[in-house]
Amino acid sequence: MLASALVNENELYSAIGEDGFERLVAAFYRQIPGDDVLGPMYRGRDLAAAEHRLREFLIFRFGGPERYIELRGHPRLRARHAPFLVDQTARDRWLQLMGNALVEAQLPAEAEQMLRAFFESTGTFLINRQ
């Protein structure tokens, strides 16, 4: 078995820090305005604020400071995505853009694998339309 430097999800924050999450989420959101599936969902929304919410959520979720909770309360991610049409196409595109962002951010391999697995399962959980 391969030894892993990361024992559990709560240690991801100390492994990649604010900077790792910052670079990842910035690389993801940079692709949003030009995306034909996801771009239209954000029309009229404040992209910088959306980027901030996702970054703070991930920092909280992976063992960092709980500023997301102070800002937004319990995540309630399914309820918060209910206004948006999240079908298989949207889910797959979200994962594709996040996959690009993961490549760009060049995080340690264990961190990247852990985040990929989390995004894939959460993306599936958030599907709310056939």
Cβ at position 62, least distance to ligand HEM in Å: 10
| Residue 53 interacting with ligand HEM (CB under 6 A) | yes
Size of site (CB under 6 A) for ligand HEM:
21
Cβ at position 77, least distance to ligand HEM in Å: 6
Q: How far apart are CA 74 and CA 95, in angstroms?
A: 23
| Residue 41 interacting with ligand HEM (CB under 6 A) | yes
Residue 46 half-sphere exposure toward CB, CA atoms < 13 A: 4
Residue of the chain from 57, 62, 64, 105 that contacts ligand HEM (CB under 6 A) = 57
User: x/- binding map, residues 78-107, to ligand HEM, per CB under 6 A?
Assistant: --xx--x-x---xx--x-------------
Cβ at position 85, least distance to ligand HEM in Å: 8
In contact, 115 and 68? CB cutoff 8 Å: no
How far CA 22 is from CA of 17, 53, 87, in Å, comes to 9, 11, 27
| Residue 128 interacting with ligand HEM (CB under 6 A) | no
Sign of CA dihedral 104, 109, 113, 114: negative
Radius of gyration of the chain (CA): 15
- The contact set with ligand HEM (CB under 6 A) reads 38, 41-42, 45, 50, 53-54, 57, 72, 77, 80-81, 84, 86, 90-91, 94, 119, 122-123, 126
